[in-house]
Amino acid sequence: MKRLISIIGTTGIGKTRLAIDLAKHLDTEIISCDSRQFYKEMRIGTAMPTDTELAEAKHHFVGNLSINDYYSIGLFEEEALKKLDEIFAEKDIAIMVGGSGMYEKAVVEGMNDLPIANEENQQKLISIFENEGIGPLQKLLEELDPEYYSIVDKDNPRRLLRAIDIIWQTRKTYTENLSLPKTKRNFETLRIGIDAPREIIYERINHRVDKMMENGLLEEAKSLIADSDKVALQTVGYSELFRYFDGEWDLDFAVSEIKKNSRRYAKRQTTWNRKLQNVNWVNYDNSLQEALSLLNKID
């Protein structure tokens, strides 16, 4: 049986480093399931692996899209499974890493054979979002599926777009669609979660944001102002700086908001990860050794 090692954890916890070290040790390749790192224009603000890191181990789904491209969880599931088949044709183990829980879950557990995105529906919803903001999408989803609306990340336009599109296509609520039986995978998955005390996570996030600013995040965001209404850019690190460029906030406040919103994102990731099945937790300051020890015990 082929094995997928899925590395999970909050933003800034050290997932990229562990994935690369494991891939080198196991002589295999990495699938990224970080939906923000798909977009080549967003290198700094998404902490995309550096060129040096990318050269250490073969990565897939990093900087492979433009912010002008349409993409979805369904498409990612399809393409990631195809790439895994290619890797498993030569290797017994593959690594997956990233902070986007829904994308990770789609590969590991499946998306209930949900239909791929309907382009007409997506364009209609994107038009509403770009012209009227996120409010109308929130209201629409709440009317169509109050149960899913109560748990979804309401500030994430991609989640809203996907759910509404599926509801329109299937004439069932998204909740009903998610409860359908899933296709069994032809590989086993070992989830390794990196754990750290909350104060360490927050300290790392604050330090990471400072490093992003030093590395040119302000200039990167400035170069994307013309595309600031794109769905991909409605995310932490960019939306705050766009408000600075609009004159709404000063720079220090915008940076403090990036840190605050990143900490909130980490809190949501923690809540999500704690609900996952069969996670093997390792300590952030000894993650490689503990992960290798875990693999030796299993083998």
Binding-site residue set: 9-16
CA 268 to chain centroid, in Å, comes to 12
Of residues 151, 161, 73, the one with CA closest to residue 61: 73
What SS3 state is found at 280?
A: strand
Rounded Cα–Cα distance for residues 158 and 121 (Å): 13
| Helix-helix angle 251-274:198-214, to 10 degrees | 140
Q: Where are the beta strands (DSSP E) in the chain?
A: 2-8, 30-32, 59-60, 93-97, 187-195, 279-283
Q: Which residues define the annotated binding site for ATP?
A: 9-16
Bridge partners of 96, per DSSP, are: 6, 31
Q: Which residues define the annotated binding site for substrate?
A: 11-16
